[in-house]
């Protein structure tokens, strides 16, 4: 449900680009389909005016990266709880996930070329779960065979 206090540029994402708004209750269903997702955490644009800038950049980023990801705006009421789940520290944030697993985040505002480069890098990066699994396999290999007593 859209909130009346949403900044007009954030509301424009919903109206003109069909970007849905998700909250704590609907986030898992939104993340369930396979593929890359970007969640836009805005916080209060009066406190974090860069949120309005990112709201302008996001549709351009979607186009520049040829629709490689689905996106949603996170409900204001759910942002703090979901911030803890996805582990970013700065507002606004674009949180990148693949198949429901965290890849990383772009926080704050950046120059256009930097935004595109960071987003492309995240879209080509493994998820944090994949990185942890690879590290565990490597640690097991390095430890060598275990003796059973």
Asked, for residue 1, whether it belongs to a domain, the answer is: no
pLDDT along the chain (149 residues), means of 10: 72 96 96 96 94 96 95 97 94 97 96 96 90 75 66
Helices and strands (H, E) in the chain, number of each type: 6, 5
Produce one character per residue of 67-94: b if its CB has 16 or more CB atoms within 10 Å, e if not.
eebbbbbbbbebbeebbeebebeebbbb
Asked, for residue 3, whether it belongs to a domain, the answer is: no
β-strands 36-41, 70-74 pairing = parallel
Residue 101 is predicted with a pLDDT of 94
Contact 101, 129 (CB under 8 A): yes
Asked, for residue 149, whether it belongs to a domain, the answer is: no
Helix, strand or coil, per DSSP, at residue 108: coil
Asked, for residue 12, whether it belongs to a domain, the answer is: yes
Domain that holds residue 37: 8-143
Asked, for residue 85, whether it belongs to a domain, the answer is: yes
Query: What are the φ/ψ torsions at residue 89 (nearest 5 degrees)?
Result: -115, -10
The CATH number assigned to the domain holding 41 equals 3.40.30.10
Query: What are the φ/ψ torsions at residue 55 (nearest 5 degrees)?
Result: -65, -30
Q: How many residues does the chain have?
A: 149
Residue 2 is predicted with a pLDDT of 46
Residue 12 is predicted with a pLDDT of 96
Asked, for residue 148, whether it belongs to a domain, the answer is: no
Contact 107, 92 (CB under 8 A): yes
Other beta carbons within 10 Å of 7: 16
Q: Please tell me the total count of domains within the chain.
A: 1
Contact 10, 55 (CB under 8 A): yes
Alpha-carbon gap, residue 108 to 81, rounded angstroms? 19
Statement: the pTM of the whole predicted model exceeds 0.85: yes
3-state helix, strand, coil in the chain (%, to 5): 45, 15, 35
Asked, for residue 120, whether it belongs to a domain, the answer is: yes
Residue 148 is predicted with a pLDDT of 61
Asked, for residue 2, whether it belongs to a domain, the answer is: no
């Amino acid at each position: 449900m859209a909130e009346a206090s949403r900044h007009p540029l954030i509301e424009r994402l919903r109206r003109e680009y069909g970007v849905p708004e998700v909250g704590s209750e609907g986030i898992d269903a939104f993340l369930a389909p396979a593929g890359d997702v970007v969640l836009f955490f805005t916080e209060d644009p009066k406190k974090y005016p860069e949120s309005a800038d990112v709201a302008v950049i996001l549709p351009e980023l979607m186009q520049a990266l040829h629709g490689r990801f689905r996106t949603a705006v996170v409900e204001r009421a759910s942002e703090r709880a979901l911030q803890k789940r996805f582990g970013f520290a700065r507002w606004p944030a674009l949180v990148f996930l693949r198949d429901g697993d965290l890849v990383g985040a772009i926080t704050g505002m950046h120059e256009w070329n930097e935004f595109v480069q960071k987003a492309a890098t995240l879209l080509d990066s493994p998820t944090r779960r994949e990185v942890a699994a690879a590290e565990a396999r490597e640690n097991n290999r390095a430890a060598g065979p275990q003796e059973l007593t």
